Amino acid sequence: MNYEGIYYLKDINRLGNVEISQFLSLFLSQDEIILFATIEENLKYESEETRSYLQSHQYYVGDEWIFPHSRPAFIESKKILWYRTITTESIQRALILDNLFRCIVLEDGDSVVNAKYVFYVIENVETQVLCIAVKSKENYYQRISPIINKFNQSIQIQDQL
């Protein structure tokens, strides 16, 4: 996938699920949705309630790798289940299911390979970092950056780790 930029929000683990869900919602425009990813094969380890929830919110299952880094070997041949989150509450539920989450923003009905924003959390010894890959730097700086500043001026997005 081609991304014009990747930005970083360090110490994402200092934010609560409510604030993270509100932050992710800032990236939505009309007719766009947030999809979270989970490894389909791992559903067998989830409770019946969680499996049912994920399957009822399923958007797509496939093996496309759309993240800017290479696909980890341990999921090389596994399918990814993308599920829809509709409200900030459903985003919070997704965050509870996986705090090292991967999610995307795309137009409702579009293919996952056309995601406008790709989010994924990485860990290092010190902290967790939210990585934000963007298709358009111009859209990010003109539309998203000002919204983030209004939302919380203490959130500092950086262009390098």
pLDDT for 20-59, tens place per residue? Answer: 999 999 999 899 999 999 999 999 999 999 999 999 999 9
Exposure string over 97-126, b if 16+ CB within 10 A, otherwise e: eeeebbbbbbeeeeebeebbbbbbbeeeee
Tokens of 45: 């380890």
Domain ranges of the chain: 5-151
Q: What's the residue count for the chain?
A: 161
For residue 91, pLDDT over 80 is answered with: yes
The percent of residues above 70 in pLDDT, for the chain, comes to 99
148 CB contacts (<8 Å, ≥6 apart)? 23, 26, 155, 157
8 CB contacts (<8 Å, ≥6 apart)? 129, 130, 131, 132, 157, 158, 159, 160, 161
Q: What confidence tens digit (pLDDT) does each residue in 103-133 have?
A: 999 999 999 999 999 999 999 888 999 999 9
Helix (H, G, I), strand (E, B) or coil at 79: coil
